[in-house]
Amino acid sequence: MMIDLSTMERLPKDFFLREGTIVARELLGKLLVRKYEGKILVSKIVETESYIGKIDKASHAYGGKITERVKPLYMEGGVAYVYFIYGLYHCFNIINSVEGDAQGVLIRAVEPIDGIEYMSENRYKKPYEELTRKQVVNLTSGPSKLCIALKIDKNMNTKDLINGNELYVVEDGFNNENYEIVQCKRIGIDYAEEAIDFPWRFYIKDNPFVSVKAKKDENVKITNRNR
């Protein structure tokens, strides 16, 4: 599938200068573009999580914490925040809100759209045609998986997503696509006390690339994309 990026508008800075849960929800369906070494990789954002800075015990910036690692969180919205976990993997976030507010949206999962052969080589070191069905679904169905597939690492930390050319987000080319959005609790934050229950994860319902579906007994909110 070949995407004509020249017909698609980049998300403007104003898009990111808003409260985190709004940005996280509205990023769903948008296209994430990664360019490197003459290659173009395009994917659709299908799952996000919002982290609301100083009041959120799940956030790296909770309580106004400032270290070298988290300084990008305090930048103005529209830049990348990439951090290392478990000494092995990277996670990619997009900073939102105004400078100093320390809000970010974690990109949890994307659906491969274009440049899939490169994603396969990056992730599995083999051609896309040789992947099993399980490997295809696991290609980008998690925050660290997508970073490997899209070659997003610490070199992308603090990159300008508004004016830069290596990593950015454009309006989706699927404007007629209708889908429902699930809003539920975030994942992997058992340490975050009351913040564990904040419903700040968003994903496209029934999309196969979503990392983890909400539990059957979980209190979720489902809305149409155009609510």
pLDDT digits (tens, 9 = 90+) for 9-49: 999 999 999 999 999 999 999 999 999 999 999 999 999 99
In a domain, 215, yes or no: no
Q: What is the pLDDT of residues 114-146, one digit of tens each?
A: 999 999 999 999 999 999 999 999 999 999 999
Q: What is the pLDDT of residues 197-212, one digit of tens each?
A: 999 999 999 999 999 9
In a domain, 103, yes or no: yes
pLDDT for position 3: 80
Question: Does position 227 have pLDDT exceeding 80, yes or no?
Answer: no
**If you average pLDDT over every residue of the chain, what do you get?**
94
Structural domains counted in the chain = 1
In a domain, 191, yes or no: no
In a domain, 149, yes or no: yes
Burial string for 155-194 (b: 16+ CB within 10 Å, else e) reads ebbebebbeeebbbbbebbeeeeeeebbbbbbbebeebee
**Residue 79: domain span:** 5-177
Taking the C-alpha atoms of residue 148 and residue 141, their distance in angstroms, rounded to an integer, is 11
Contacts for 205 with CB less than 8 Å, ≥ 6 apart? 179, 180, 181, 182, 222
Cross-strand pairs, 79: 160
The percentage of residues in the chain with a pLDDT greater than 70, rounded to a whole number, is: 97
Question: Does position 175 have pLDDT exceeding 80, yes or no?
Answer: no
Q: Are 221 and 198 in contact (CB under 8 A)?
A: no
Q: What's the Cα-to-Cα distance from 168 to each of 8, 122, 128, 199, rounded to whole Å?
A: 12, 19, 24, 26
Q: Is 97 helix (H, G, I), strand (E, B) or coil?
A: coil
CATH of the domain at 75: 3.10.300.10
Q: What is the mean pLDDT of residues 174-200?
A: 91
Q: Is 139 helix (H, G, I), strand (E, B) or coil?
A: coil
Question: Does position 2 have pLDDT exceeding 80, yes or no?
Answer: no
In a domain, 106, yes or no: yes
Contacts for 224 with CB less than 8 Å, ≥ 6 apart? 178, 179, 180, 181
In a domain, 129, yes or no: yes
pLDDT for position 174: 66
- Please give the residue that has the higher pLDDT: either 61 or 174: 61
In a domain, 104, yes or no: yes
In a domain, 219, yes or no: no
Taking the C-alpha atoms of residue 180 and residue 169, their distance in angstroms, rounded to an integer, is 21
pTM, rounded to two decimals:
0.95
Nearest to 43 by CA among 109, 112, 128: 112
Taking the C-alpha atoms of residue 151 and residue 89, their distance in angstroms, rounded to an integer, is 11
Q: What is the pLDDT of residues 81-96, one digit of tens each?
A: 999 988 889 999 999 9
* CA angle at 213 for the pair 207 and 115, rounded to the nearest 5°: 35
